[in-house]
Chains A and B, each alone.
Chain A
Amino acid sequence: MRTFLKTAKHYWRIHLIVALCTAVATGVLAGALIVGDSMRGSLRNITLERLGRIQHALIADRFFQPEIVKRQNMVSAILLNGTVVAADTDFRASKVNIYGADNTFFDFWDLEDVPDLTKSPNQPFAQIAINEALQNELNVKVGDAILLNLPQATEIHPEFLLGTRDTDDVIQSLRVIVGDILPTTNVGRFSIQSHQSLPLNAYISLSILQKAIGQIGKVNAVFTADAEPLSSDILEPTIEGLGLKIISNENNFEVQSQQYLLEPILSEIALNVASENNIPTLPTLTYLANSVSIVDTSQQEAANGKSVQVPYSTILALPFETEDFTELLNRSTTANDKNLYLQEQQKEIKRRESRDGEEWEKIGEALQRIQKDKSDIQYVEGYKINSPVSRKIKADSDKALAEVNRKLKGFSSINPLHLPIVLNKWTADDLDAKIGDRIKITYFSVNAEEEYITETAYFILKAIVPIEGIAADTDLIPSFPGIHDTTNLSDWDPPFPFDYSKVRNKDEAYWDEYKSTPKAFVTLDMGKRLWENRFGDLTSIRMGKAPGMDINATQSLFKTEFLKRIEPEQIGFQFLSLQEEGLNASTGSTDFGMLFSSLSIFIILAAATLVGATFAIGVTQRSREIGILQAVGYRLAKIRRRFLLEGILIAGIGSLFGCLLAIGYAQLMIFGLKTWWLPAIGTPFIDLHVGRWSLLIGIVATLVIVVFFIRQVVKRLGKAPTAALLVGETDFDETPRKHKTHSTQLSVNRNISIFLGFVFGILVGYFIRMDGWYGVILLLILPMFVFFMFNSKFGSFMMDRLNPTVNYHQDKPRQKLQIVWWKFALGLGIGTITGYIGTILILSQDGSLIYDTVESVVKHPIVRLLGSALGILATGWLVFDKWLGSQRVPKRLSRMRFGLKNAAWQPMNSKSSVMIMSFACCIIVAVGVNRHDAMPETEYAFVAESSLPIHRSLNTAEGRLELGFDAEGSELLAKSEIYPFRVLPGEDVSCLNLYKPEKPQILGAPDGMLYENPWHYLQEDSRHESRIHAIGDDNSLRWILHHDPKEDFVIQDEFGNNLGLQIETVSNSLFQSQLIISDNDFTKYFPSQSGYQFFLIKTLPELQADTQKVLEKTLEDYGFDVSSASERLASFRAVENTYISTFQSLGGLGVLLGTFGLALVLFRNIIERRRELATLRAYGFRRKLLFNMLILESGFLLAVGMLIGILAGIVAIFGSQGHLPSFPWQSLTITLILIFGFGIIANSIAVVVALRSPLLSTLKSE
């Protein structure tokens, strides 16, 4: 230690630099890791802050009585999403979290002032507390009035025939007074979603909200601070809580839904329970027909002045084999009726078969055309994959195929059981119908655009039954909202279009006498086929007595067993461990520690290089000391150990000091993230969090790196002889490159010829196999070129340049050339055969594991990028090395060559400099080229989102009228194409969300988009149960969800079942925040989600401003926000660009530090060459000339390195992307000029300092 202290004191300058450089490396590495700590810590803090003491939650997509939750210490609340408008200023905010809560909810946080949400007696309106973020949006203060637009809770799904979809029906407005402004901390930040951005929150009294939305006593969420997780055990669902009702009759009971249709899962469970307990069941489906009429006779009937159609009739679909109904049929029909029906049935079947035959023909023709188009694609693709022609043909044929598939879906075999219809006597009399007549029924259905479509179905009249027994049983008919309780038919107020003019007196009379008694009966099978939808296929299940039980006991048994079977997850209840999931998500989608470590890697490496270079200078200065130690008998190993220990001690001290720098560096980076690089995190929320492990890892990792560099220096000790060291020669003088003999050189050339020939041969073989003529042409051209090269003056000149030590035209030139030539030809031949066979065996086996692996590896952008970059770098380094190795006798020695030759003399130093600079520049260029400064272009003008779902089509005049657009606005929108998407709420999976998302937002893409690439993929059948096709952004999947796109991404459907998403990826799309499935799949797996909340809008540039204005103004109650699609894309790119900027800033800093390292290397180099320089001085070289020569030498290395790097960077990007993205010439050129300039300045300083020492004195030997 004493020796160390003395040495340290003597060489304190060098040791200080070593320690400082180590401190910088530690500071940067540990600092970068601390940025990661800070990110995680800040996200964690936000999570803890927003959740307070809430541990678990039960969230439901329906309202329920909180009493069904059998757990103490639960706090109930209502969570809604809506829009808020300042009453005075009309300022508005959408996507506002509206919470209905009472005071117990605020107990989850330690609040000094709990907001008072009770209604003041003097105030006609309820009070609301809003957070500061919302206040800023609305620009309101306490006492101001605001309007809440809330989704109206309805029993019947808005998209069902009987659901209401008008704005007034789906949006509930509530005027409230701002009573409190909450800071955006604690409860003011509450959200069940993990996101770093500030939520817009509004809190209103639970009871007031319940009343406003018509859900008195009900909630849709409960929270608890208890540590014990919530599970399905705590729920005791009730029949009413499930939205069901049981209607008791004398001998049976009906299970019906308050939503009209029984939810499929509930009806399935009910039927299973009944079956298991031998309870007889009668499932029925009731629908409303717009008209019932007789086909073909209507003209005649009209002429006779008789009724041609019966309007608005209830039709009951039931199993005809039901005992009561069979008995009624038998009673009402004779054998003759049955025969007549069978005859007509056969005629109808023939008629339909004839019609179907024509349809089949059309489909066959369409399929043939598609087949031809497909073969055209193959033909076209054989020459040029993805040519515009092939893309066009493919898109057209895909569209045609989709149309055929659509037709095939609507095409089904003729089932005789679907044909019969039974009319009650009143209706049959009204129509003057007789057995065997063709009966036409028209009814409404709701299409994907939520429009009412009139559909038609044809039947054969099988029987006419009296209105008695089951045919008169109205208990089977559930209540039609707006219909059931009316006195007169003309008083009906249904949600669908109702033509009062069609209601006749006799219809009123029927209503008066029979109410909703069905006028017609079809089989349940047919009823389901016509009227089932995603909301259900039954309206009622009648249950009889179980064997040996009376009806009450049976009902009781059914209820008990039925409720036992209900799994809450199947009916939309979610048990969330909010705290645990939130904290887990706060580990972040991106590891900022690793990110900043990577971004800072140049600084770390540069600092470590500086350590190595400085330490080497120190050792150089102590050459005599090493010589003396060796002379007095120290073993070399001991001397090395001594120097190594010294280095470790100095680096250790530097590392400890680096901990302080780390905190400073992290603070700087955090400041950067809050200011310059804000787009990377969106919100300046990040605070400093110092992790002990980060410091420790920083110290250890830096020490490992630095000690490695020091060890590299120490390992070189002892190369110079002791005597040389004693006279002051340094230990690092490089051994000059040995001359290769002519024969060795020639032998190398021959071997290279074989190798090159082989490589070219493989390529030729590949091209022959894959591309036919290209390969043959290449096979002919390549040898001709080589022949020319070896047999022309130009070839000799090139060979002379490449291999200066071989004089190819000396003595027996032809012999030597021919050997090289034949070796090349041999290699080419072997390579061609190998390439051809290899292509057949491996690459042509499309679909094989090897093929897939090779293809996926070769086509992977990262592989192509790295391959191209390393290929060019390696080529550049090889060429440079070749140049270094060229030691020709000059015809004329110039100052320029003199300087450059110096660079060649110490190849290791020169190569290291070139490699470092080229590598750094390659990365800077490759990263910089990826920067997208230009505003991205997209075919869509706007992306729009609405807080509340929209149920009307924006693409039809009727839909726009319903939504409140005036004629002018509607006309304007008619010139736009609007694609509405359904939305399943979830987390943002784009790079804009720093939390680790688990449940992505899902969009349902409209059918209208599915005919184009890549959307048609969503229409293709995945051919697997519980597995559907989806589209997702490649970057979001890989880097945010950390999911391999080749694997299925598993989500849960509405019923709690796993659903695998087989994902096709897109890049740089507008859909980086979501995953997309087809509308069809969306409604199948998430049937209760209603309406559209995400929109893509195409419009003409000149109409954009007006379109945006009209949409936002008219749909303001929906919270319709329209934003530029380009800007949306730009916001995603901004994150990428910011990372690139950060990298460029830190990378640039690292490269600048690196140039210092190179300058130090140069400085050491000059010291080592001082005798040489002194000799030059003795021969009259001025200092300035020496300076110029040395700068030329280092500048040359700098320029070569940078040129190789720039070329490699550009080629790498071209290789991976197939084109050069928008190239940021300006910023990149400035960066590179700065690097070069700084390098020259640093080198100049090194040269000036080094030349300042008296060189000539080194020539004195005495």
Chain B
Amino acid sequence: MQKSGGKIHQLNVSNLSKDFGNVEVLRNISFSFSAGASVAITGPSGSGKSTLLHIIGTIEEPTKGKVEINTTDPFQLSEPELARYRNSVIGFVFQDHHLLPQYSVLENVLIPTLAFKQKHDVSTLAHDLLKRVGLTHRISHRPAELSGGERQRVAIARALINRPSILLCDEPTGNLDAATAKNITDLLFEMHSIERNILIVVTHNLELASRFQNNLRLANGTCSVETAEDS
């Protein structure tokens, strides 16, 4: 077990299924990861990559099966508990950064801290994160004034502000050119190495996927997990 932000990280997914009406997208999927694990979810379009990511991120509920994060089944929590849980345990980085356009870079990074009262000085942490993602000079700028790569860096910083156990990235480089995508990927790994959380990234990019310790391949609703030691 590794520590990050004072938390112990463990993700267990067992017999997870998800269907949309008659269409079964995920079927009896099970896997388990611990802190420090980096996971790439790959598979063809429509294979349920984002659905799986959203279920792990508690944005979507599974039809069957169980997700346990740090021994907690989030889907058994009440709405406020789930919100707090999501706020403290999960960090999201979307393909489309989903930065709030009206806020500055710093404000965007701080947004997750507003959901609940914070005991520690989040402002220092935000500045620290922005320093780490290399955006100190853009601190008061708005998303519209940033490049695509910079926006995604802000999104990463935002995702990490509450020091989550799991960092979920949905095609974080999907809209970026190769060079920028590489930079972002490097950054993700860099941050992951610092935070030592569970990093799960959905990607089509096999080259990128190859850089992760674990590769969770989805096809026809089932998944196979390949680890670096396996390959």
Contacts and interface: CB of A to CB of B under 8 A. Distances in A.
A631 B189 CA distance: 40
Given A889-B140, A1260-B54, A1262-B50, A1182 B94 contact: no
B83 A901 contact: no
A411 interface: no
Contacts of B54: 1256, 1259-1260
B212 interface: no
A895 B110 CA distance: 11
Interface stretch (B6-14, B96-104, B176-184): B96-104
B100 A1175 contact: yes
A898 interface: yes
A1180 B83 contact: yes
Nearest to B92: A1178
A251 interface: no
Contact of B94 (A892, A895, A1176, A1259): A1259
Given A889-B139, A893-B110, A1180 B88 contact: yes
B139 to A, nearest CB: 7
A946 B162 CA distance: 89
Contact of A1172 (B49, B51, B80, B100): B100
B114 A736 contact: no
A1179 B111 contact: yes
A891 B51 CA distance: 38
Interface in A883-928: 887, 889-895, 898, 901-902, 904-905
A887 B102 CA distance: 9
B107 to A, nearest CB: 5
A53 interface: no
Nearest to B144: A736
Nearest to B139: A889
Which of B86, B95, B123, B144 has the most chain A CB within a 10 Å cutoff? B86
A1185 interface: yes
B77 to A, nearest CB: 12
Nearest to B50: A1262
A1181 interface: yes
A1261 B95 contact: yes
B208 interface: no
Interface string B43-61: 0011001110010010110
Contacts of A895: 114
A741 to B, nearest CB: 12
B12 to A, nearest CB: 21
Given A889-B139, A892-B123, A904-B102, A1178 B114 contact: no
B123 A902 contact: no
B15 to A, nearest CB: 23
A1261 B96 contact: yes
Contacts of A901: 102-103, 107
A1004 to B, nearest CB: 73
Contacts of A902: 102
B94 A1180 contact: no
A1171 interface: yes
Contacts of B145: 739
Classify chain B: how many residues form its interface, as a range. Answer: 35 or more
A384 interface: no
B84 interface: yes
Contact of B50 (A887, A904, A1180, A1261): A1261
B57 A1178 contact: yes
B140 A1181 contact: no
A553 B104 CA distance: 115
B46 A1180 contact: no
Interface in A717-741: 736, 739
Contacts of B162: 1180
B49 to A, nearest CB: 7
B116 A1180 contact: yes
Nearest to B158: A1179
A1177 B94 CA distance: 14
Classify chain A: how many residues form its interface, as a range. Answer: 35 or more
Nearest to B109: A893
A379 B85 CA distance: 81
Contacts, number: 101
Nearest to B174: A1261
B79 interface: yes
A1218 to B, nearest CB: 45
A1183 interface: yes
A887 B140 CA distance: 9
A8 B23 CA distance: 33
A892 to B, nearest CB: 6
Contacts of B104: 887, 889-890
Interface string A145-182: 00000000000000000000000000000000000000
Contacts of B130: none
A1178 B59 contact: yes
A889 B87 CA distance: 24
A240 B60 CA distance: 111
B65 interface: no
A1016 B143 CA distance: 75
B156 to A, nearest CB: 13
A1183 B79 contact: yes
A1260 B50 CA distance: 7
B101 A905 contact: yes
Nearest to A1176: B111
A544 to B, nearest CB: 108
A239 to B, nearest CB: 97
A1179 B86 contact: yes
B98 A1259 contact: yes
A103 B84 CA distance: 96
Interface in A1176-1209: 1176-1185
B69 interface: no
Interface in A1205-1262: 1256-1257, 1259-1262
Contact of A1181 (B83, B88, B123): B83
Given A1182-B79, A1262-B45, A898 B144 contact: no
Interface string B149-188: 0000000001000100000001100000000000000000
Interface in B67-83: 79-80, 83
B49 A1262 contact: yes
Contacts of B115: 1176, 1179-1182, 1185
B1 to A, nearest CB: 24
B142 interface: yes
B59 A1180 contact: no
A467 to B, nearest CB: 117
B39 interface: no
Nearest to A1184: B80
B11 to A, nearest CB: 17
B112 interface: yes
Contact of B92 (A893, A1179, A1261): A1179
B21 to A, nearest CB: 15
A1261 B110 CA distance: 24
A1192 to B, nearest CB: 12
Contacts of A1260: 50-51, 54
Nearest to A901: B102
Interface pairs A-B: 7 shortest CB-CB: A1180-B87, A905-B102, A1179-B112, A889-B140, A1182-B83, A1180-B115, A1175-B98
30 contacts: A736-B101, A739-B145, A892-B123, A893-B107, A893-B110, A893-B113, A893-B114, A898-B111, A905-B101, A1172-B98, A1174-B98, A1175-B92, A1175-B100, A1176-B111, A1178-B57, A1178-B86, A1179-B87, A1179-B115, A1180-B87, A1180-B88, A1180-B115, A1181-B114, A1182-B79, A1185-B115, A1257-B60, A1260-B51, A1261-B96, A1261-B171, A1262-B45, A1262-B46
Interface of B: 45-46, 49-51, 54, 57, 59-60, 79-80, 83-88, 92, 94-96, 98, 100-104, 106-107, 110-116, 123, 139-140, 142, 144-145, 158, 162, 170-171
Given A902-B102, A1179-B87, 14 more contacts: A736-B101, A887-B104, A1171-B98, A1175-B94, A1179-B158, A1181-B83, A1182-B80, A1185-B115, A1259-B54, A1259-B59, A1261-B94, A1261-B96, A1262-B45, A1262-B49
